[in-house]
């Protein structure tokens, strides 16, 4: 058990929570579950919230500061970041369209939705009140809200993540502007902080099996009651959610990456996918674009003909800020959870999701489970209870593998495109 991979432990925790939840509901152990089991799920969620702000701030500062101040790399950096942001926006938009079209959260029976609405009644009331306030805001108010007057105050709440991202970008740009002998100590601090945060995440994820067990058990305890048949109905709804997301990821590859390859390079599509296939398989098995980075660079340089200069800049930056698959997952999951809870999201809410996912994805660490942290932030930004994450944690590992594969594919496609535009794409053999 000690040597068992973390994802297997999480799956075991999920299954155990499901079994216990069913048994608890049948035996009438609702009070015991609420008093002695549910708190561990709350602790797990709180730990994820705790690490969110330092994770985003440190990752983003170091990512922006990695840009060179030379004209050539500034030009390359501008192209790279622009393409990364554009593909992320496209990915999120595709995901939002599909999740609104298919309504996977609507597959949950009306009776169960009622139970969920009653469970989160206070949150629904808050949501309604917030929606009314949004109607009274000016058209530029969202932009104004992105610029904080006090960074300490902004860091005190995960709902202010856009402000954190804004300040982190400013700090990163500031580090680029000053001499390296003066910036190295400050930058070293953030690099060290980023390393510490990643280690803390590793420690938090040790609790993931227990946290998942508690969250699933409490969810069943709250929703199912004495009607065990509803468990099957709830779990079957997740299949439609997975289909929606995987379809969106496939469409994103076909629309965004194939567009880049077709119109910005002369590389045959089949040649690209043949060259990058080993990196895709590694990304799928590890769920970490960071761990896959060495093989991604090797394949891009040796098989796809990307120059080392382009590869060494674009790909590490992509592993930090290019999270197309993760961003789409966060958007789809957020809307799915809101649908499951019977909470309608306005156009303004979904625009907020686009902005938050695009900007927050820049600061998402290239490690497994970081996407969950960002999802919690996104849920809170639109007033959806973060405890709803329990609904999708059970299938998160499978979807993490899929979205990481998309992230790595996107990194490689952008590297090939930038190299082609800079005439640093070597001749390849068909």
Backbone angles phi, psi at 306, to 5 degrees: -75, 135
Token digits of residue 243: 């289909």
pLDDT, position 115: 61
Q: How far apart are CA 260 and CA 290, in angstroms?
A: 23
The pLDDT tens digits of the residues spanning 299-329 come to 888 889 988 778 777 887 787 678 899 889 9
Looking at residue 19, the DSSP 8-state letter turns out to be H
Q: Is the pLDDT at 254 greater than 80, yes or no?
A: yes
pLDDT at residue 121 is higher than 70: no
Give the per-residue pLDDT at 272. Answer: 93
pLDDT band at 247; cut points 50, 70, 90: very high
Residue 127: per-residue pLDDT: 46
Band (134; pLDDT cuts 50, 70, 90): very low
Is 427 domain-assigned?
no
In 208-268, where does DSSP find H-type helix?
208-223, 229-252, 258-264
pLDDT above 50 (res 174)? yes
Alpha-carbon distance of 156 to 230, in angstroms, equals: 39
Measured CA to CA, the distance from residue 107 to residue 113 in angstroms comes to 10
Sequence-ordered list of residues with C-beta below 8 angstroms from that of 72, at least 6 positions apart, any chain:
none
Confidence at residue 162, expressed as pLDDT on a 0 to 100 scale: 67
Looking at the structure of the chain, the number of domains it has is 1
pLDDT at 97: 95
Mean predicted lDDT score pLDDT of the chain? 78
How does pLDDT run across 270-291, given as a tens digit for each residue?
A: 999 988 888 888 788 666 776 6
Window from 63-72, 147-156, 350-359 with minimum mean pLDDT: 63-72
Q: Provide the whole-model pTM.
A: 0.66
52 versus 191: the higher-pLDDT residue is 191
pLDDT at 249 over 90: yes
- Give the single-character DSSP code of 35: I
Within 13 Å and on the Cβ side, how many CA atoms surround 16? Answer: 14
**d(Cα 337, Cα 334) in Å, to the nearest integer?**
5
Query: Residue 124: its pLDDT value, please?
Result: 45
DSSP 368-423: TTHHHHHHHHHHHHTT--GGGGGGTGGGHHHHHHHHHHHHHHHHHHHHHHHHHHTT
Residue 137 lies in a domain: yes
Specify the higher pLDDT residue, 200 or 247: 247
> What does the alpha-carbon distance between residue 371 and residue 126 come to, in Å, rounded to a whole number?
26
pLDDT digits (tens, 9 = 90+) for 326-340: 889 989 999 998 888
Q: Which of 6, 18, 23, 45 is nearest to 216 (CA)?
A: 18
Q: Residue 260: inside a domain, yes or no?
A: yes
195 versus 88: which is more confidently predicted? 88
pLDDT tens by residue, 358-417: 776 665 544 445 567 677 778 877 888 777 777 777 677 678 878 889 999 999 999 999
Q: Is residue 428 part of a domain?
A: no
Instruction: Indicate whether 213 belongs to any domain.
Output: yes
Judge whether 269 and 258 are in contact, CB under 8 Å: yes
Residue whose tokens read 């500031």: 174
Domain that holds residue 363: 6-421
**425: helix, strand or coil:** strand
Higher pLDDT, 371 or 261: 261
CB 164 within 8 A of CB 154: yes
> In angstroms, rounded to a whole number, what is the distance separating the alpha carbons of residues 47 and 194?
17
Q: Would the pLDDT of 136 be above 50?
A: yes
CB within 8 Å of 3: residues ≥ 6 apart: none
Q: 370 lies in a domain?
A: yes
Query: Residue 228: what pLDDT?
Result: 60
Q: Is the pLDDT assigned to residue 125 strictly greater than 70?
A: no
SS3 230: helix
The confidence score (pLDDT) of residue 12 equals: 84
The verdict on residue 156 lying in a domain is: yes
Q: 34: domain CATH number?
A: 1.10.3860
pLDDT tens track for 210-232: 887 888 788 777 766 555 665 56
For residue 154, tell me if it sits in a domain.
yes
């Amino acid at each position: 058990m000690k040597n068992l991979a973390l994802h297997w432990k999480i799956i075991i925790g999920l299954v155990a929570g499901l079994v216990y939840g069913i048994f608890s509901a049948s035996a009438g152990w609702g009070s015991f579950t609420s008093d002695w089991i549910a708190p561990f799920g709350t602790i797990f969620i709180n730990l994820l919230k705790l690490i969110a702000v330092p994770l985003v701030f440190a990752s983003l500062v170091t990512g922006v500061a990695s840009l060179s101040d030379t004209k050539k790399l500034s030009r390359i950096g501008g192209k790279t970041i622009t393409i990364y942001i554009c593909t992320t926006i496209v990915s999120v938009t595709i995901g939002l369209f599909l999740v609104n079209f298919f309504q996977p959260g609507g597959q949950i029976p009306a009776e169960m939705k009622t139970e969920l609405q009653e469970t989160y009644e206070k949150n629904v009331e808050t949501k309604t009140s917030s929606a009314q306030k949004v109607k009274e805001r000016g058209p530029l108010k969202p932009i104004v809200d992105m610029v904080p007057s006090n960074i300490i105050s902004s860091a005190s709440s995960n709902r202010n993540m856009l402000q954190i991202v804004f300040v982190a970008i400013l700090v990163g740009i500031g580090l680029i502007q000053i001499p390296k002998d003066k910036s190295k100590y400050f930058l070293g601090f953030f690099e060290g902080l980023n390393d510490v945060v990643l280690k803390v995440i590793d420690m938090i994820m040790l609790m993931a099996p227990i946290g998942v067990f508690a969250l699933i058990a409490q969810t069943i305890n709250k929703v199912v009651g004495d009607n065990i048949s509803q468990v099957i109905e709830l779990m079957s709804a997740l299949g439609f959610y997975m289909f929606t997301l995987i379809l969106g990821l496939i469409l994103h590859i076909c629309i965004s990456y194939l567009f880049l390859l077709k119109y910005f390079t002369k590389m045959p599509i089949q040649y690209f996918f043949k060259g990058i296939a080993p990196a895709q398989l590694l990304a799928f098995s590890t769920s970490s674009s960071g761990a896959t980075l060495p093989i991604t660079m090797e394949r891009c340089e040796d098989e796809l003909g990307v120059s080392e200069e382009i590869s060494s800049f674009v790909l590490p930056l992509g592993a930090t800020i290019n999270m197309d698959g993760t961003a789409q997952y966060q958007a789809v999951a957020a809307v799915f959870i809101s649908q499951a809870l019977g909470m309608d999201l306005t156009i303004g809410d979904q625009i907020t999701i686009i902005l938050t996912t695009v900007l927050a994805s820049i600061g998402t660490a290239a490690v497994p489970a970081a996407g969950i942290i960002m999802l919690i932030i996104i849920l809170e930004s639109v007033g959806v209870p973060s405890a709803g994450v329990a609904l999708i944690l059970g299938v998160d590992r499978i979807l993490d593998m899929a979205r990481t594969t998309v992230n790595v594919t996107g990194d490689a496609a952008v590297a090939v495109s930038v190299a082609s535009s800079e005439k640093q794409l070597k001749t390849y053999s068909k």
